[in-house]
Structure 1
Amino acid sequence: MGTPSVGYSAISSYSRVEILHLIQVEARQTVAGLAAATALHPNTVREHLERLLEAGHIVRETEHRTTRGRPRVLYSAATGEAEASSPIARRKARAAAERGDIMRRVMPWTGTSVRELGTESTHQLDAIADHLSESGFDPLINERDLTIDLTPCPHATAQSAHRETLCSVHLGIMRGVLAEARGPLVVEGMRPSCDPTHCVVQLATA
């Protein structure tokens, strides 16, 4: 339901992975704070933040101040919740659902998930499949067991030293994608047997 993009999407750069990880861990981050934490120039941080915003991975807000001074711009992860919902992520989820519905009309045998899981869950799987394909994965979704095989991981070798951070960021993004798609499915976690070359994400019904 998607074509892997050249350059590994918005998180092709480990600097962006690191920035997104910091934002996922603690909401309402500032450019100055992120620059200090990553040792990057503030202008570089701003460029990375724009890429993450354009991908729908984060949202921004302007600080409400009751004292003098320019209000800060605050960045949070797109979690799908009312105060942290990305219109870009919602639009991408709707587009994925529309493409999935067209595919199921043209190839009815691919629509068993609608009968078994329901429309909302099926549309969530459309959204997560699109996101993972765009991110450079070749996801294999098992609709019966609610698992996603992420083999091969595009970062398994090149950034093996940062595997824990990478996995955490990917899980955070996937949780946001499912939430923005609006349905009962959530990310439960990665199976304990995961290793750098074979990783399986377990979904569940909330």
Structure 2
Amino acid sequence: MTTGRPVGYSAISSYSRVEILHLVQEQPRRTITEIVEATGLHPNTVREHLQRLIDEGYVVSAAEHRTTRGRPRVLYSAADGILASSPIQRRKVRAAAERGDLMRRVLPGAAPELDTEALHQVDALVEDLIDAGFDPLVDERELTVDLTPCAHASSQAEHREVLCRVHLGLMQSVLSAAGGPLAVDDMRPSCDPRECVVQLMFAGATA
């Protein structure tokens, strides 16, 4: 499945936004000042990037609880689908499940390998990956998501490790927000940077 959208369409096609997302994935409840110090970006630029990430459901903000005088700081965390829940992400997940159910009714095929909850997780995951510029191919039996060729392998090759960790975190966030038995295991190792196959697993199962 492909949308024909260029990679630049995605909110995380900018490495500055990827870097910010990586920071709040690694350590939630970060302030603007902390992100500015870590990235070297101008505060206004950081605010613009954060707002774009919030608008896409990748980041959530909350006011700091203060017991002393002074304006509470705004704290930013990556949406994880559980503790840091984004209403935008939840809306996307519900819409993806509805579209998936409709497609399965209109275009019936072989009996799915997964139960309804897992199918809805896959629906949400596939739509999110397409929006991020990927062309995912899901194997329900093997529980793999093939993203080859990686849409970011060439354009941002020097940042591959961070990109991979951020995308894996986003995938887990979507699966958690959708609710169900599936979770991200890890990427399958490959010598080819363009090759990307993500292994899923049933939550609680041994990897």
Query: TM over 0.5, yes or no?
Result: yes
Shift of 1:3: 2.7
Shift of 1:196: 1.3
Structure 1: unaligned runs, 5 residues or longer: none
Query: What does 1:131-170 correspond to in 2, within 5 Å?
Result: 131-170=128-167
Distance 1:24 1:33 in 2: 14
Shift of 1:152: 1.5
Distance 1:194 1:125 in 2: 27
Backbone CA RMSD of aligned residues: 1.3
Secondary structure of 1:64's counterpart equals coil
Structure 1 position 98 matched with structure 2 position 98: yes
**Aligned residue identity for 1:54:** D
Query: What does 1:192-203 correspond to in 2, within 5 Å?
Result: 192-193=189-190, 195-203=192-200
Check conservation: 2:53, 2:59, Cα contact below 8 A.
Answer: yes
Check conservation: 2:2, 2:135, Cα contact below 8 A.
Answer: no
The change in CA–CA distance for 1:15 and 1:26 in structure 2 (over 3 A counts) is same
Structure 2 match to 1:119: 116
Shift of 1:88: 0.6
Distance 2:4 2:25 in 1: 24
The change in CA–CA distance for 1:4 and 1:87 in structure 2 (over 3 A counts) is farther
- Cα deviation, 1:12-71, whole Å, max 9, x if unaligned, reads 110000000000000001111101110000000000000100111111100000011110
Identity of aligned residues (%): 65
Distance 1:68 1:4 in 2: 52
Instruction: From the two aligned structures, give the one with the greater helix fraction.
Output: 1
The change in CA–CA distance for 1:197 and 1:108 in structure 2 (over 3 A counts) is same
Structure 2 match to 1:54: 55
Runs of 4+ in 1 over 3 A off after TM superposition: none
**Aligned residue identity for 1:79:** D
Shift of 1:190: 0.5
Check conservation: 1:146, 1:203, Cα contact below 8 A.
Answer: yes
